[in-house]
């Protein structure tokens, strides 16, 4: 037998931290398990293994594995090498600014790209519409176009305004 058995159960400090992150991820429309996993990794003084997550949070290994993967793709956590251990251990990214931009990039970027073509097409359709309505359509489509541009600036906006 290698490595120590992970603690079981959660301290009050741990479970309340987790509760906070669960609320945050749910607010953003992400699954609760992501909040649990990140929350525990965030508060623990030492890197956490998947086994520990499964035991202490009482989630399935499937959930843990998928949750960890998603957190890795957001770069919300990273793998850390622990000498003499076979398991993977995880540490949190604790700079929320980075976290937020990674998240927005991943979620927003693809939509923005799709959206651009769509708006161009709208323009064409508006020009082909009856004169009485054409001006109205141009107007609304322009506003949409501006919204789109703004969306593209959200990440930089957050980085600039929010200096923490």
Residues that bind DNA (CB under 7 A): 1-3, 26, 29-34, 49-51, 58-69, 86-88
Counting other chains too, the contacts that 18-24 makes at CB distance below 8 Å and 24 or more residues apart are: 18/43, 18/57
- Considering only the stretches 56-64, 69-77, 80-88, 141-149, report the one whose residues sit in contact with its own copies under the rule CB under 8 A: 141-149
Measured in Å, how far apart are the chain's first and last C-alpha atoms?
44
Q: Which does 119 bind (CB under 5 to 8 A by kind): its own copies, DNA, none?
A: its own copies
- Considering only the stretches 48-56, 63-71, 77-85, 121-129, report the one whose residues sit in contact with its own copies under the rule CB under 8 A: 121-129
Residues 149 and 84: their CA atoms lie apart, in Å, by 50
Number of helices followed by number of strands (H, E) in the chain:
6, 3
Q: Which of 46, 162, 7 is nearest to 95 (CA)?
A: 162
78 contacts its own copies (rule: CB under 8 A): no
**Any idea how long the chain is?**
164
| Shortest distance, position 151 Cβ to its own copies, whole Å | 9
Residues 50 and 128: their CA atoms lie apart, in Å, by 58
- Considering only the stretches 8-16, 53-61, 62-70, 80-88, report the one whose residues sit in contact with its own copies under the rule CB under 8 A: 8-16
The residue (of 2 and 94) whose beta carbon lies closer to its own copies is 94
Q: Tokens for 147? A: 């919204």
Contact 33, 59 (CB under 8 A): yes
Site residues (vs its own copies, CB under 8 A): 11-13, 16-17, 19-20, 23-24, 27-29, 42-43, 45, 94, 96, 107-108, 111, 114-115, 118-119, 121-122, 125-126, 129, 133, 136-137, 140, 143-144, 146-147, 149-150, 153-154, 157-158, 160-162, 164
């Amino acid at each position: 037998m290698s490595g120590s058995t992970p603690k079981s159960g959660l301290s009050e400090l741990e479970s309340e931290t987790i509760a906070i992150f669960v609320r945050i991820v749910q607010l953003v429309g992400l699954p609760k398990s992501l909040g649990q996993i990140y929350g525990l990794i965030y508060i623990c003084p030492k890197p956490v293994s998947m086994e520990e997550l499964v035991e202490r949070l009482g989630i399935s290994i499937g959930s843990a594995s998928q949750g960890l993967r998603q957190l890795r793709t957001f770069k919300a956590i990273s793998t850390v090498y622990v000498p003499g251990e076979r398991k993977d251990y995880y540490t949190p990214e604790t700079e929320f600014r980075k976290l937020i931009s990674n998240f927005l990039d991943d979620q927003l970027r693809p939509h923005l790209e799709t959206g651009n073509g769509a708006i161009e097409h709208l323009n064409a359709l508006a020009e082909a519409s009856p004169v009485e309505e054409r001006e109205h359509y141009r107007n609304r489509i322009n506003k949409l176009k501006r919204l789109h541009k703004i969306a593209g600036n959200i990440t930089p906006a957050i980085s600039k305004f929010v200096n923490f």
